[in-house]
Amino acid sequence: MSEPGLESGNLELPVISDDGILEQLVLLGKALSDPIRVRMLGLLASGRGCCGLPPVSAMAVPGEGESEGICVCELQTWLGLGQSKVSYHLKILRDAGLIAEDVRGKWTFYTLNQKAARQLLDLLGRRLEL
């Protein structure tokens, strides 16, 4: 039996059973059922360029490389929500496999998992015979 959902950082959906497919589609539906989460997905799909956010290198974040992701504190500002509410919504998006995380020390940057999102939407279309 395989697990529905994605492991952190994994950019593909796992092979899932028929029951797992239904559960994965339910998680997708839940993720897309709230306007805040849909707005978050839009921000994450655009990356740091969406909102005039400074480069990660200018933020004294540990680690190498340049993340295109957006951190919780930035999402708080753009959405006008508290940290716990943003984290709650991110968990639902993560459970559905729609976002990926880049952890750097105490910072976590989130991006849209484009490959998994395409796979989920394709899976939904096939399930509905579209």
Longest pairwise C-alpha distance within the chain? 49
Pairing assessment for the beta strands 107-112 and 70-71 based on DSSP bridges: antiparallel
Domain ranges of the chain: 18-127
When pLDDT is averaged across residues 52-76 and rounded to a whole number, the result is: 79
Phi, psi values for residue 38, rounded to 5° = -65, -40
Q: State the pLDDT at residue 96.
A: 92
User: Global pTM?
Assistant: 0.76
* pLDDT band with cut points at 50, 70 and 90 for residue 1: very low
Which position has the higher pLDDT, 49 or 111? Answer: 111
Distance separating alpha carbons of residues 30 and 65, to the nearest angstrom: 33
Evaluate if residue 117 carries a pLDDT over 90: no
CATH code: domain 18-127 is 1.10.10.10
Distance separating alpha carbons of residues 52 and 28, to the nearest angstrom: 29
